[in-house]
């Protein structure tokens, strides 16, 4: 009989613990979506794992960046146990999402947390170049981002800037030494991307960069 009661008590405690954990799980992702920083702080203080994923495989940081939930984003980036490199199903990192949205303050904080600037495949520089975020591009390049990084299909940041970004983004990459002759798996160069995107400004910059540099005549006119 004693063992019977022990078993019943154990089951009650287990059921209560399971229900509490389930509630914490729901509350955690609800806080991320609602930008409830105090609720998030309370759960983290209780020991809830900040890297838990929801039923769609998303972490709270990724969810907060999608909403956006700025107070929760700040809290999660600052929390030491948060894995700022946890990626979504498209292999996008928080740094990539901040880069394409032009969120330079978040980019700075993520880099300070050792976010991967040169992750394999699509990179933060690709994403910044795609939306013409010149200041963030400079920041990434100053942190040794690979200027000719290739995506899984061989696309470079220059190609993305040429088709989707801005003339200033193309100019920056050219000034920093991006290779205009590189081709992706379809054999397309950055100039081809600019043509496809109907970007006359980018086409002109890329054509000029592809021209061989003529030696300058000395001041006295003699060679």
pLDDT tens for the chain, 223 residues long, are 555 545 444 434 333 334 446 699 999 999 999 999 999 999 999 999 999 999 999 999 999 999 999 999 999 999 999 999 999 999 999 999 999 999 999 999 999 999 999 999 999 999 999 999 999 999 999 999 999 999 999 999 999 999 999 999 999 999 999 999 999 999 999 999 999 999 999 999 999 999 876 555 555 555 5
Measured torsion, CA atoms of residues 50, 55, 57, 62, in degrees rounded to the nearest 10:
-50
For residue 99, the model assigns a pLDDT of 98
Q: pTM here? A: 0.85
Q: What is d(CA 175, CA 124) in angstroms, rounded to the nearest whole number?
A: 19
Phi first, then psi: what are they for 219, rounded to 5°? -60, -30
- Is residue 126 a contact partner of residue 157, using CB atoms and an 8 Å limit? yes
For residue 11, the model assigns a pLDDT of 39
For residue 217, the model assigns a pLDDT of 52
For residue 14, the model assigns a pLDDT of 39
Q: What is d(CA 69, CA 61) in angstroms, rounded to the nearest whole number?
A: 9
């Amino acid at each position: 009989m004693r063992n019977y009661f022990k078993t019943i008590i154990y089951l009650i405690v287990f059921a209560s613990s399971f229900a509490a954990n389930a509630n914490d799980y729901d509350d955690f992702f609800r806080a991320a979506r609602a930008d409830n920083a105090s609720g998030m702080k309370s759960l983290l203080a209780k020991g809830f794992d900040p890297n838990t994923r929801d039923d769609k495989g998303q972490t709270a940081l990724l969810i907060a960046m999608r909403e956006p939930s700025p107070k929760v984003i700040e809290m999660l980036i600052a929390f030491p146990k948060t894995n700022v490199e946890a990626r979504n199903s498209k292999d996008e990192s928080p740094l990539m999402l901040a880069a394409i949205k032009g969120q330079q303050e978040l980019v700075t904080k993520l880099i300070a947390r050792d976010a991967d600037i040169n992750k394999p495949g699509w990179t933060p520089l690709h994403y910044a170049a795609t939306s013409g975020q010149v200041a963030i591009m400079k920041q990434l390049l100053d942190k040794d981002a690979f200027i000719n990084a290739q995506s899984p299909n061989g696309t470079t940041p220059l190609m993305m800037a040429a088709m989707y970004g801005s003339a200033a983004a193309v100019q920056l990459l050219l000034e920093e030494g991006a290779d205009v002759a590189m081709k992706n798996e379809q054999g397309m160069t950055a100039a081809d991307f600019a043509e496809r995107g109907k970007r006359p400004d980018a086409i002109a910059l890329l054509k000029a960069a592809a021209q061989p540099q003529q030696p300058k005549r000395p001041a006295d006119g003699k060679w």
